Chain A
Amino acid sequence: MQVYYFTELPYHEYPDEEGAKYPSLRLTFPNTYYDPHKAHDLFHRYLDEYQYCEEMGFDGLMLNEHHNTPSCMNATMNLIGSILARNTRNAKILLLGNVLPIWDNPLRLAEEIAMLDILSNGRIISGFVRGTGVESVSSNTNPAYNRERFEEAHDLIVKTWTTPGPFRWEGKHYHYRVVNPWSVPIQKPHPPIWVPGTSSPETAEWAARHGYTYVAFLTPLNMTKELFGMYRTAAAEVHQTVTENNFGYLLCCYVADNEAKAQEEAKHFIWRMGETTRGPREYFAPPGYRSRIASQIAARRRTSESKPLGQQNIEELQANYHVVAGTPDTVLKKLRFLKDELNMGHLVFYGQESRMSHKATMRSIELFGKEVMPALREW
């Protein structure tokens, strides 16, 4: 199993009672609560942690992107990715992922990712996402065309990477007289493409048809199995071979020297699960953003089969395998269970959140690298 380190690059530097005054921490929480000087310190701290992960033997470093939210300062992951491309040597750089529908010029994105692949000497894994509704609204991209734009931008980018230029593109949402960028990826035919999933069957099936790795993001175990099953069915229909490498699982994880310390630090994930996901449906899934089927699954995720993430306490989050915390032995046992249940080939180690200190973060990375990772290598 391959392991990738991840943090959302959070900015939890405002008084919580101020955040509570607003309908959501996303989209409309005023950016006057953001201090660029504090952000400077945080960015460099998080970059140090990423670099330490490479020292500790992580296979990859995962970045993501959100807009208008203190939960994620990374508003353009390719910038941070370019720093890692220069400052690391071996780790894969997992972009999971660029928000395709909000790009009016996806050709520029194809160029940026190709440049990253060149700079990193072929270490890019290029994830593509639809973004939350907040990304649609903050970029004012029509949510009713989100999936169409996602698919067309993807088709254009892959063609740009794989077809010698120049060629012409006359699509529905994108039009180019001359597609002929000089930056093309080092990896052939193109960098691996990954897709995260939270509830949409369409996304699992689309990823399956293309043979892309599908990473479950904080879905309950039974639903994760269901979505992986939909993936397998869709892959079988187009005769795509499916191995464990087609599946990944994102897990909030803290490793400590003793159980008490692990439990104390694990509580930092609660802010991510609850407070930063609070807000009206109109922010997270504006009309037209989701299909009816996906809405039904999302509703199940929020209600009947498991409590909404934001309403689960830390014990429930651990019982449901959204958070795993403990000594290396405890963590290994739980990871073994997850591996047996899901048989995924990739694990995203979501290792830092909220106000977890640099020191605490570094210790968990170290313990995971030295005492958990060696066993995972054999799985």
Chain B
Amino acid sequence: MPRPNWREESVNVAGIDVHFYCGGEGPPLVLLHGGEPNSGWLQHHQALAEQFSVYAPSHPGFGHTPGLAWVATIADMALFYLWFLDAVGLARTHLVGHDIGGWLAADMATACPHVVDHLVLVDAMGLKPQHSEIRDIFLITLAEVRAQSFFDTTQVPEWQQLYGQPPTPEAADRAEEALETLVRLCWKPYMHEFRLPGLLPRITRPTLIVWGREDAITPLECGDLYQKSILGSRLAVLDACGHCPQLEQPQAFAEVVRSFLH
């Protein structure tokens, strides 16, 4: 059996061991996951690893990495991840984030623009839409969240691997912990931050915003707002795609990102 070309590692940051997946060769690329536990190494990781050294860390308090009491907001976690970049020795990296991972990436780029090579925000939380609402995932069941997260679940190639089986007790526990931490971080204001629109103009690095046109969680309007707030950024909208392009259309997603990073 061939050895996988990715591995699991950990690095000490702020007194805790941060779990991360890494693989591939090339310039560094940090991929920040959304509000669920780190999904593990999937097709989109592999596709990006063909050209980049991909680091996919697990957020503190989301199952694989212990939580930190002082991480009470996304802004706190952004500072934590800037520390993480120091710890793994990345002075400058591409930064890709989905959902709250996109919010984190945007926050990191406003706080410390020089560490970002290129920035990619994917169906990102963080901004309050003016004409629509971010779907309140805290008041609906996990099954409803799943249903709302995809335009067409039958086109998710890794559906069976991700959601086809009932979770193991360990996986269920991680999911519960992740949801609890997500509530801690994002309950109020819900999934957005008052200061972010004021800070986004500080981002001058090349920025791509990727959005599923049919995103029923974070409306496309938020993608427009990010695009308008970050000078020179571009919005790429994927048709027939929901909130998770990296899962619903992993190859198309990777292609859009790779061509931007070239």
A: residues with CB less than 8 A from B are 137, 140, 142-145, 280-283, 286-288, 292
Contacts and interface: CB of A to CB of B under 8 A. Distances in A.
Contact of A283 (B139, B180, B181, B184): B139
B141 A287 contact: no
B184 A282 contact: no
- Dominant SS among interface residues on chain A: helix
Given A282-B140, A282-B141, A286-B138, A144 B184 contact: yes
A142 B141 contact: no
Contacts of B187: 140, 142-144
Contacts of A142: 183-184, 187-188
B182 A287 contact: yes
Given A287-B176, A287-B179, A288-B180, A140 B139 contact: no
A287 B175 CA distance: 11
Contacts of A140: 187-188
Contacts, number: 39
Nearest to B180: A288
Interface size for chain B: under 10, 10 to 19, 20 to 34, or 35 or more residues? 10 to 19
B134 to A, nearest CB: 15
A280 B181 CA distance: 20
B74 to A, nearest CB: 14
Contacts of A281: 141
Contacts of A286: 138-139, 183
23 contacts: A137-B139, A140-B187, A140-B188, A142-B183, A142-B188, A143-B183, A144-B180, A144-B187, A145-B184, A280-B139, A280-B140, A280-B141, A282-B138, A282-B140, A283-B139, A286-B138, A286-B139, A286-B183, A287-B179, A287-B180, A287-B183, A288-B180, A292-B176
Counting from the closest, the 4 A-B pairs by CB-CB distance are A144-B184, A288-B180, A287-B179, A142-B187
Given A143-B187, A287-B180, A292-B176, 18 more contacts: A140-B188, A142-B184, A142-B188, A143-B183, A144-B181, A144-B183, A144-B187, A280-B139, A282-B138, A282-B139, A282-B140, A283-B139, A286-B139, A286-B183, A287-B176, A287-B183, A288-B179, A288-B184
